[in-house]
Chain A
Amino acid sequence: MLKKLFSFIFIDGDLKNDIKFLKTAPLFAGVSDRALAQIALLVFKKTALEGEIVFSPNQEAQVIYIVKSGAVQLAGGGKEKTIKAGGHFGEIAFIKDSKHNISAKALENSELYLIYRIKFEDLAESDGKTGFKIMKNFLNSLGAKFNNLEI
């Protein structure tokens, strides 16, 4: 009872929920709670309204998006893909000075978590282990998109 009261007063519940959510995202698989807390503190939350363009081709890529709720449609190169809660897109921002070559549109009102590239790089620099884990997850998701990576 006392412990519950104590944690209610001093412990940040929203942050805990954010950590719980980030844990389910494939991009952050295997990342420690403490590192996730740091990531949760540097995300920006933004609501994209139904039909709103999140980004369009040729726009500079600076942000990695994680879908908290809702759905976002990616379209480009004759292909289409829908990202649902827990998924991420815009990872091309991990590559320096890159530009988006697809467009992203919210299919319904969607809550997005935004991670700014340079902030992430700062974190990865100070906590190499976490940085490496996230980059590995990123490479895995990237690799899954190509049929043949070795040539």
Chain B
Amino acid sequence: MMNESAKTRIFIVAILFFLALCLFLYFARNILTPFLLAAFITYLLSPLVLRIQAAGFRRWVAVLAIALFVLIALTVLLLFLVPMLIREFSKLNIDFPYYYNFVYSHFEIIKSKLEEVAPIIQEQHIFDAAIAKIQSIVFAQTQKIPSYLVSFFGAFSMFILVPMLVFFMLIGGNKMFDTIVELVPSSSVETILSMLYEMDSSLGKYIRGQLIEASFVGIMSIIVLSIWNVNFALLIGVSAGFANLIPYVGPSFGLIFASIVALVQYQDIFVLVKIIPSFLIIQFLDNNLIQPLVVGRNVNLGPVSMIFAMLAAAQVFGFLGIFFAVPAAAIIKTIFLMLLQKYKKAVFY
């Protein structure tokens, strides 16, 4: 039988162990993506599991029911949406040189006009150097995109590992929370619980809010572009929705993508009079209608820390890190604030 000081000792050892685990995870970061993705999906699905469980069923029954439902939904999606996307993708592949030439020739016109105004630009070959630089970056990056996708969403991890992990995480459920609660000394359980739940609620609200917003922006973009009869409406809409998950830079992505496609398609600058206001209206609706509805999208992170978190995560975890950066930073902030409060109290009393 444990006495109280033994419990406290175990608790301290557990914290040290947790820190060691964090260090280990840092070194194993390359294989972390499927786990993070699975945790993310589990997080979204677990309220549904609880709801079915509340009807009295065992947990695995609930999980199995959801798994079947998701499987059916995915099959439907794959049967209808994916062929459409693939069609647009292959069309884009064929049309890409055309689009490229269009942008390039217009760039040439702007270049010669500017050089007339300021001859120094030509003397110093500023434009040529800039073009060469942009070309090399764009080509290098676009060539990398497939390998990005393959490395992160390798067929194995994407289609087998992630669903499997989600399944087991859902079956396992809140065991981690339960263990933590059982392990900590009774006198600190209230603090630990409030910390866990504060993280839980800010994270949950953020993730749900982001997803609702992303789907709103994606669907609205598809509708608007279909109304204006712009090519690749589906492709642009879906990518605009995904890009919307990235704070600050994301929302402009759809606008730029759509503008270029529309310019090439209609060969007329006035088409932008339709496109730009449409996207601004979508962003306006998102900011003023959807965001207030989806309470708690705000994770109380300042713009500077948000940008820092995104860049740092991209550096450490690669491209997908951008999507996980903000919630992770929110968790760290919650823990830090909690510790700070404890520290202040310890100083005062």
Residues of chain A at the chain B interface (Cβ within 8 Å): 9-12, 15-16, 34, 37-38, 41, 44-49, 51-56, 59-63, 93, 106, 114, 116, 118-119
Q: A46-B189, A55-B187, A118-B201 are in contact. Are A62 and B57 (CB under 8 A)?
A: no
Partner of A114, one of B50, B58, B59, B181: B181
Q: Which of B2, B50, B177, B193 contacts A62 (CB 8 A)?
A: B193
Chain A residue nearest in CB terms to B3: A49
Q: Contacts A51-B4, A118-B197, A119-B197: A45 and B182 contacting too (C-beta < 8 A)?
A: yes
Closest Cβ of chain A: how far from B5's Cβ, in Å?
11
C-alpha gap A45/B193 in the complex (Å): 12
Known: A49-B4, A116-B197. A60 touches B190 (CB 8 A): yes
Bound CA–CA A131/B193 (angstroms): 21
Partner of A53, one of B58, B186, B190: B186
Q: Are B181 and A15 within 8 A (Cβ)?
A: no
- The chain B residue with its CB closest to the CB of A115 is B193
CA of A45 to CA of B186 in the docked complex: distance in angstroms? Answer: 11
Query: A15-B56, A46-B186, A114-B193 are contacts. A41–B4 as well, Cβ < 8 Å?
Result: no
Q: Given that A10-B58, A53-B187 are contacting pairs, would A41 and B177 also be in contact in the complex, using a CB cutoff of 8 Å? A: no
Q: How far is A10 from B65 in the complex, measured between Cα atoms in Å?
A: 12
* Contact A52 B186, beta carbon cutoff 8 Å: yes
- Besides the contacts A41-B50, A49-B3, A118-B201, what 4 more A-B pairs have beta carbons closer than 8 Å? A12-B58, A38-B50, A38-B54, A116-B197
Residues of A within 8 A of B178 (CB): 44-45
Q: Which residues of B contact A116 (CB under 8 A)?
A: 193-194, 197
Asked if B191 is an interface residue, CB under 8 A from chain A, the answer is: yes
Partner of B2, one of A12, A16, A49, A118: A49
Complex alpha-carbon distance, A34 and B182, angstroms: 26
Q: How far is the CA of A118 from the CA of B205 in the complex (A)?
A: 14
Q: Which residues of B contact A16 (CB under 8 A)?
A: 56
Structural contact, A46 and B187, CB atoms closer than 8 A: no
Whether B186 pairs with A12 at a CB distance below 8 angstroms is no
**9 tightest A-B contacts by CB?**
A62-B190, A37-B54, A44-B181, A12-B58, A62-B194, A54-B186, A38-B54, A63-B190, A48-B186
Q: Which residue of A lies closest to B196 (CB)?
A: A116
Q: Is B94 an interface residue (CB 8 A)?
A: no
Residue among A12, A34, A61 making CB contact with B59, cutoff 8 Å: A12
